[in-house]
């Protein structure tokens, strides 16, 4: 039920070819974003299915889990800050609810983050960034090297600077996905959904949330092939294995693969690019525990590196950022591993004594402005030419470095959209903002289920 122990091993599809599963909400994509949206939708009383043939094995498997709205403020990306801060405020309640629903711990830790510079140039860069952070109302306080080493004794005495970032925390993404899967199964296993009586806001009557034909009442271990359309609205999806999922609402949250779905709305352009990252996991010998108690984010000769402690006595060191299109999807760069170990040892020399457990590489879904594609798909060709959105469809992808951190916010935003509420603050993340025209072209003919989206010619 948790993340696969071997993330390269795909789950065997369980939906026979030609079979049909029905639910209120279908979420395509089993990363942390997809799981978070599915759980939030299920908590609202809706029946939910999550479609993924290897849930939790993509970028979520490799992620370090830093919840860092302050440290992740980048030049020219200030537009993301409000969403990042909104998600940060949601984490305590999100975790409390998840612990209660799953009976497990997602590894949420609220110790502050320590930013460290290796030399004088790194110190200047961090202080310049601090000025931007302060201009945006964020708290970053300088520490003396002595103060930093009192907090973290294994820091190198040769570091040039240290700053305290109290609002930046962490969670363990692998434990988080496991908790979400437990919560989805726990809520979904009480009763099997039998009727299709509609309640308010598109919910199924009778209080049932489990879905017949889905593993644990929610999971469909298969790949999504393409969207299904009926009467100008998205009505579900086709599975690669030949089955069908019918749903009142479909959420596209499958990261880089979103743009590969067949039968997307005409004109919708999802410009996702893979940004690969190498990340390491190491065991800390007992005599060195804890290596660090807080997340340490450093600059070493201008190159970022971080060390994230886990409660189980391991640390995560990451992460490179490359767009080199490796020969195989999960290939780890030898140069990346060398760089991470070299730079981490500059900040914490004892890293040389750790046991290397795992080297992982995954691709993060990036967009041209490094902001997510999140929301309904707008259209200017609705009924009688009225502006509106494509019915039955929500897009939630392109989260790049921020997928774990933005999970509570993305889940809440999608739940609001399911309930018919749209917050204008999130309009800049409109998933159609990169279209050649301002809105996707969709008309509303009537008819039976179709594999193709409606076009002007189909009316």
Q: Domain limits of the chain?
A: 12-110+168-272+367-459, 113-166+274-362
pLDDT value for 15:
65
**Are 48 and 23 within 8 A, CB to CB?**
yes
Q: Which of the residue ranges 111-115, 140-144, 191-195, 399-403 would you say has the lowest mean pLDDT? A: 191-195
Domain 113-166+274-362 adopts which CATH fold?
A: D-Amino Acid Oxidase; Chain A, domain 2 (3.30.9)
3-state SS assignment for residue 341: helix
pLDDT value for 457:
52
**Are 222 and 241 within 8 A, CB to CB?**
yes
Query: What is the dihedral sign for C-alpha 179, 314, 61, 75?
Result: positive
Q: pLDDT above 70 covers what percent of the chain?
A: 86
The angle subtended at Cα 93 by Cα 42 and Cα 173, nearest 5°, is 75
pLDDT above 70 (res 443) = no
Choose among 403, 384, 441, 333: nearest CA to 84. Answer: 403
pLDDT value for 209:
86
Tokens of 103: 């009976």
Rounded distance between C-alpha atoms, residue 244 and residue 223, angstroms: 11
Tokens of 451: 């594999």
Enter the CATH code of domain 12-110+168-272+367-459: 3.50.50.60
Task: Name the pairing type of β-strands 48-51 and 20-28.
Answer: parallel
List residues bridging with 385 in a β-sheet: none
pLDDT value for 9:
45
Query: Hunting for tokens 């009316």 — which residue is that?
Result: 459
Say if residue 357 is preceded by a cis peptide, omega within 30 of 0: no
pLDDT above 90 (res 14) = no
Q: Which of the residue ranges 5-9, 147-151, 238-242, 415-419 would you say has the lowest mean pLDDT? A: 5-9
Quote the distance between the C-alpha of residue 15 and its chain's center: 26
pLDDT value for 104:
96
Rounded distance between C-alpha atoms, residue 148 and residue 119, angstroms: 15
pLDDT value for 440:
55
Any residues with CB less than 8 A from the CB of 93 and at least 6 apart, and which? none
Rounded to an integer, the average pLDDT of 75-94 is 94
Choose among 394, 56, 42, 43: nearest CA to 211. Answer: 42
């Amino acid at each position: 039920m948790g993340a696969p122990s071997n993330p390269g091993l795909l789950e065997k599809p369980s939906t026979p070819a030609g079979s049909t599963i029905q639910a209120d909400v279908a979420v395509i994509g089993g990363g942390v974003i997809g799981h978070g949206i599915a759980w939030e939708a299920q908590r609202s009383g809706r029946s939910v299915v999550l479609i993924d043939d290897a849930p939790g094995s993509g970028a979520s498997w490799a992620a370090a889990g830093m919840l860092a709205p302050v440290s992740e403020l980048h030049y020219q990306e200030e537009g993301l800050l409000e969403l990042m801060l909104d998600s940060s405020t949601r984490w305590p309640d999100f975790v409390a609810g998840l612990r209660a629903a799953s009976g497990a711990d997602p590894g949420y830790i609220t110790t502050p983050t320590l930013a460290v510079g290796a030399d004088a140039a790194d110190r200047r860069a961090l202080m310049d960034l601090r000025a931007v952070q302060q201009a945006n109302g964020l708290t970053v306080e300088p520490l003396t090297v002595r103060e930093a080493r009192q907090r973290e004794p294994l820091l190198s005495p040769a570091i040039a600077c240290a700053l305290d970032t109290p609002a930046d925390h962490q969670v363990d993404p692998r434990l988080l996905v496991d908790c979400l899967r437990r919560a989805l199964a726990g809520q979904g296993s009480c009763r099997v959904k039998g009727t299709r009586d509609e309640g308010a806001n598109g919910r199924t009557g009778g209080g049932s949330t489990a879905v017949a034909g889905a593993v644990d009442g929610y999971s469909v271990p298969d790949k999504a092939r393409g969207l299904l359309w009926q009467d100008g609205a998205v009505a579900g999806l086709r599975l690669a294995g030949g089955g069908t999922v019918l749903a009142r609402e479909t959420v596209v949250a499958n990261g880089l693969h979103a743009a590969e779905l067949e039968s997307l709305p005409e004109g919708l352009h999802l410009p996702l690019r893979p940004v690969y990252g190498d990340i390491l996991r190491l065991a800390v010998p007992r005599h060195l525990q804890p290596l660090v108690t807080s997340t340490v984010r450093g600059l070493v000769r201008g190159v970022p590196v971080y060390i994230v402690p886990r409660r189980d006595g391991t640390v995560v060191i990451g992460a490179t950022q490359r767009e080199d299109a490796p020969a195989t999807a999960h290939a780890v760069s030898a140069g990346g591993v060398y760089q991470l170990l070299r730079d981490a040892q500059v900040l914490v020399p004892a890293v040389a004594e750790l046991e290397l457990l795992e080297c992982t590489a995954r691709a993060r879904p990036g967009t041209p402005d490094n902001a997510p594609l999140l929301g309904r798909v707008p259209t200017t060709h609705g009924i009688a030419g009225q502006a509106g959105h494509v019915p039955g469809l929500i897009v939630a992808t392109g989260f790049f470095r921020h997928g774990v951190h933005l999970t509570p916010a993305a889940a809440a935003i999608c739940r609001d959209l399911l309930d018919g509420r749209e917050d204008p603050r999130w309009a800049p993340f409109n998933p159609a903002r990169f279209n050649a025209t301002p809105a996707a072209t969709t008309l509303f003919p009537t008819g039976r289920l179709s594999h193709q989206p409606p076009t002007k010619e189909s009316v």
